[in-house]
Structure formats: C-alpha cells, structure tokens
Amino acid sequence: MSPDDTPADLPPQRAAVLAFLRRELAAGRAPSLAEIALAFGFASRNAAQKHVQALVADGLIEQAQGRKRGLRLPGGGADLLPLPVLGRVAAGLPVSAEGVARLGPVAAGEDALWLDRRLFSPRPDYLLRVQGDSMIDDGILDGDLVAVQGTPEARDGQTVVARVDGELTIKRLQRTRRRIVLLPRNPAYAPIEVGPGQDFAIEGVYCGLVRRG
C-alpha cells in the first residue's frame, strides 16, 4: 500500500483526520492535539488523541516521543528536517536580542517544524520569524519564517542575520575592504553602516523561507 493510500476499512472520521494530517504535514505544519480538536469540532483533545494513536498504531502517521508537535509522515525521515523556531528577527529597525543561541521559542508549542530539506540551500539549522518589511523586494515578508544556517562567515551579497550592538536584523551584506554595510531591500529604509569598533557579528546566512497561510 502506498503511503498516500487510505485503508478502505478506516472509519470516515478517522479517514478525514488522516487526510487533514497528511495535508498539514506535507506543508510543514505539525498540528497539536488542540488544533486537531478545533479543526474537527471535538469537545476535547482526548478525541483527537484517540484518532492520532490509532493512526500511529496502523503505521499511517509517525510520532516523535516527547514532542507536542511530533507528528510526521511515515517514511519521510530521509527528506524531512526538524527546524527549531528560535525567535524573531527584524526586517526593519533591529530588534533587541542577546544572540540567537540564547533566544527561546517564539511561542509554546511552536518549538520546531518538520520541513522538506530540499526547500533550502544551504542546509539550515533553525528558523526565525520576520518582523518588519525592509526585505520585501527579496520576497521576505513580515511574518515569514526564514531558515538560517548558523555561521559567522558570509560572502558579499548574501542575505544574513547579523547582530549589531546586541540587536538582530536580517539584511543583504555588502562588504568591502574598508566597510561593512547591511542593505535593506525596500527603498523606505536606509542602509545600516557598521562603524569602526562597533559590536558586529554574522549570526547566520539565509537559506530560504516558509510562509504559513
């Protein structure tokens, strides 16, 4: 039986839950029990849990232990990549941060997403939620999740997550022998020029984005 097949003897409501989970997981969204219950009008999460447990027992869905959003498609482990959502990054004026390594999850329950690794290049390490519109000409919009590969190195012209005076921002890097400039991709914003001796570090390079409808 193909992973996309639905057993003929599956109860209609369970088949509908399976179809819902397949659609959400294929889009990189791992629904919580509360979200499944809400989608189907269940009175509590217990009903959603019974359907999920039955689908896991039948091998139609897989579940990572100890994770609130641990559901995933069976047989997809080779192509799916778990990416933690570590916080927010400004696409506009920089937002305060203590560095990506110390950022916590954006919200309870959204600690990681399972995404197709083929969507990104290079391979990312984490996701950050964009706040602002300074990168719209590069197709990076307010509310998008940007995938980032953590590295202190970047080439001229790459889009990077940078820390300037303890604040994080996403911009296009312009680097010459004499200066570093962080370029917005929206004419309403001015470039950020990094001055001599200013606290500056590359936290990572942009690998792609996820836009959740």
Catalytic residue among 50, 68, 121, 171: 171
Q: Answer yes or no: pTM beyond 0.85.
A: no
Other residues' Cβ atoms within 10 Å of the Cβ of residue 117:
15
Paired strand residues for 88: 129
pLDDT at 46: 94
pLDDT at 117: 77
Q: Distances from the Cα of 25 to the Cαs of 61, 121, 125, in angstroms? A: 10, 21, 19
pLDDT at 76: 56
pLDDT at 113: 79
Angle made by CA atoms 36, 18, 60, in degrees to the nearest 5: 125
**134 is known as an active-site residue:** yes
**32 is known as an active-site residue:** no
pLDDT at 182: 97
pLDDT at 92: 63
pLDDT at 109: 40
Query: Which parts of the chain have pLDDT scores under 70?
Result: 1-5, 66, 75-79, 92-111, 213
DSSP string computed for 153-174? ---TT-EEEEEETTEEEEEEEE
**Contact in structure between 174 and 181 (CB atoms under 8 Å):** yes
DSSP string computed for 3-16? TT---TTS-HHHHH
Per-residue pLDDT reduced to its tens digit, 11-70: 889 999 999 898 888 777 788 899 999 999 999 899 999 999 999 999 999 887 767 778
Q: For residue 153, with 0-12 CB atoms within 10 Å meaning exposed, 13-18 middle and 19 or more buried, which class applies? A: exposed
Catalytic residue among 50, 68, 121, 134: 134
